[in-house]
Amino acid sequence: MTHHLDILIIGAGISGQLAAREFRKAGREATLLDKAGPGTESSWAGGGILLPIYPWRQAEAISELAIQSLKLYPQLSAELLASTGIDPEWRECGMLICKNPDFEAAERWCRHYDVAFQTASAELTAALTTRLEQPIWLPGIAQARNPRLLKSLSAYLSQLGTQFISDTEIEEIDVVNRRIAGVKTRHGRFTVNELVVSTGAWTREFLNNLLPDWPVDINIRPVRGQMLLFDAKPDTLQYMVLDGDQYLIPRRDGKILVGSTVEQAGFDKTTTEQAREQLYRFATQLLPTLQQFPVSHHWAGLRPGSPQGIPFIGRHPDIENLYINAGHFRNGLVMGPASAKLLADLVLQRPTDLDPSPYSLKPATAS
């Protein structure tokens, strides 16, 4: 049986769901299809810091998406909570960054993007045991609790009538006259007006396997990240702390998330004792009071690593109705709302708020 869909989004993580929301706001019907369930891969597994780690050390294209997203999150969170009763736990708790040898670059970045900052006070650092180097306090930086944000967003979309097709893989994609003509699954065949691929770390393999005759330069590879969760009491830590490349994130209920590793392990999501020990040692040395609390969870997720961490957002260079929104590396939540809006603007041929060229896709070059 063949079904016709307006917009089919493959991948129901944060990128796919936020894109579906944008299309719904524009009056278009978006359907989400996922090989597992909504938000069960890297979107669920992340930490939820709504700021790229040391953004002044990263490409401008990342900052542009992140800053626009930070402006969208308060309204998005309030809308989700009011509509569903599920709190995404967007919380402006602030972030302390312990080591800033490039303090001047940080200061320039904050001033350029109008991000509040100040030299960290002794009171903020008193509970920590680490070598401080020009510590900086960013009081306006927020977080969201990934699993609850995804649960709230899924419920919101369902209320709007968005269809979720879970536990379903794509078997074939037909291209006729440079357009997606059909998508085949074990549940039947779909024809579509537009097809969006938001398959995270699996995007490169997905496109290569299903569209081998239409190669595209999209170097996205899985990067494993492992995290721990301490079952701490409320107010053990009141703000996020970044020390080197690792961090502590206090949730509203007191639990403290510790992240994260950056590992080249292919598509292996196995947790390791080595990573557990490394993260535990970091956390308890930085905040010694954590030694009195148990570790309640240890998990791993696969980030969609891309060159410089810049996502691919835009139309396939050779297929007219195929679009990609993937490759956000560690910043899927951080850049999510602005990425979804940019994608929707391109699909719907609306003026864009950001220059889309840094995120555009290019044909694969001959080897």
pLDDT digit string, tens, across residues 237-265? 999 999 999 999 999 999 999 999 999 99
Residue 241 near residue 128, CB atoms below 8 Å: yes
Residue 286 near residue 258, CB atoms below 8 Å: no
Query: Could you identify the residue written with the tokens 């694969």?
Result: 364
Tell me the per-residue pLDDT of 326-336, one tens digit each, with 9 for 90 and over: 999 999 999 99
CA distance 254 to 236: 7
Which of 157-161, 185-189, 242-246, 297-301 has the least mean pLDDT? 185-189
Q: What's the pLDDT at 42?
A: 86
Tell me the per-residue pLDDT of 357-367, one tens digit each, with 9 for 90 and over: 999 999 987 44
Read off the pTM: 0.96
Instruction: State percent of the chain over pLDDT 90.
Output: 95
Mean pLDDT of the chain: 96
Q: H or E segment at 244?
A: none
Does residue 124 register a pLDDT over 90? yes
Q: What's the pLDDT at 331?
A: 95
Q: What's the pLDDT at 367?
A: 44
Q: What angle do CA 294, 297, 302 make, to 5 degrees?
A: 145
Tell me the per-residue pLDDT of 128-139, one tens digit each, with 9 for 90 and over: 999 999 999 999
* Both structure tokens of 282: 């970091």
Q: At what angle do helices 332-347 and 60-84 cross, to 10 degrees?
A: 90
Q: What's the pLDDT at 134?
A: 96
Four-residue CA torsion sign, 344, 206, 39, 162: positive
For residue 239, give the DSSP letter.
S
* Both structure tokens of 132: 């401080």
Residue 130 near residue 286, CB atoms below 8 Å: yes
* Sequence-distant (≥ 6) Cβ neighbours of residue 15 within 8 angstroms: 43, 198, 200, 325, 326, 328, 332, 336, 339, 340
Does residue 145 register a pLDDT over 70? yes
Tell me the per-residue pLDDT of 2-31, one tens digit each, with 9 for 90 and over: 899 999 999 999 999 999 999 999 999 999
Instruction: State percent of the chain over pLDDT 70.
Output: 99
Q: What's the pLDDT at 178?
A: 97
CA distance 296 to 290: 12
Length of the chain: 367
Does residue 144 register a pLDDT over 60? yes
CA distance 274 to 21: 40
Mean of the pLDDT values across residues 99-128?
Answer: 96
